[in-house]
Copies of this chain bind each other. A is one copy, B any other.
Amino acid sequence: MSSTYIAIDWGSTNRRAYLMASDGTVLDTLQDDRGALSLVGDDYRREVVAIRERLGVLPILAAGMVGSNRGWREAPYAPAPADLSALAGAHIRLRDDEVVILPGVSLQTDRRCDVMRGEEVQVLGAASAGLAPADALFCQPGTHNKWIRLAGGRIVDFATAMTGELFALLRAQGVLAGMLGGEVEAGPAFQRGLARGAGATDLAVALFEVRSAVLSGVLPPADAAAYASGVLIGADVGARSDISGREVHLVASGPLAPLYAAAIEAAGGRAVAVDSRAGFTAGIHRIWELIR
């Protein structure tokens, strides 16, 4: 099967490029850390040349932070509720470069606003390919964890929790820095953290307790990182009222996958793994068929 285009999931910190066949098969992939936050201005043009040197001189269809106001060119958000057709309809085309950039999705209700870029292709693609139901709750942990609710194959609601970023900030600087270097696993210390964080209205108190508990000899220093991660992830998952007794489709890879799975189970839910790459390529191919 001959290759027809290159799909790029171009996030803040990571980037995955896929060489796509006309039937949606993935023929080759590239993955690196040339995310949008590490690039400025003409970098993008050079990056695209480099990608084409590796995968072929083909049209490019890109989604994610590449289309944000910190990316290459801003692709205005498609408002929720949104499906794959809405994303396709709101693409922008950089004709000189033969690049199409997809929008993110925005939410605006009486109560709150939210935005996403990139996750929408993964979850809508997963549902369109039968990897997850068309009515489902998705959890996509990362620097910013996304909770996404699909109904009838459309994104109807979502929320972003900057859980991963808070953990990274606390580990890098401030009074807990130097205490959070230990390994984070879904063991007993993480579980105790989950219990403290779930439903907590006093997160800023619960976080200081990491220091107090270490100083008081109640928490072994080697467990402090796992406990603190548990507090933050416990608060994130525990704030949801729609998990107990339900399935949560967990779009995660690497070390966050078992941590969020444990937190979802602790909240009475059932974590079901969804492959983010398969979701992305399924979604991007539907869009490709709509806009090519």
Contacts and interface: CB of A to CB of B under 8 A. Distances in A.
A163 B108 CA distance: 27
A163 B232 contact: no
A215 B162 contact: no
Copies in the complex: 2
Interface in A133-184: 143-145, 159-163, 165-166, 168-170, 172-175
Contact of A160 (B107, B212, B218, B236): B212
Nearest to A178: B70
B173 A169 contact: yes
A90 interface: no
A196 to B, nearest CB: 8
A256 interface: no
A50 interface: no
Contacts of A216: 106, 108, 113, 115
A235 interface: yes
Size band of the interface chain A makes with B: 35 or more
Contact of A205 (B159, B199, B201, B202): B159
A107 B168 CA distance: 28
Given A202-B159, A239-B202, A212 B113 contact: yes
Contacts of A207: 162, 166
Nearest to A199: B201
A106 B217 CA distance: 12
Contacts of A203: 203-204, 235
Contact of A209 (B113, B172, B174): B113
Contacts of A168: 174
Nearest to A106: B216
A199 B144 CA distance: 22
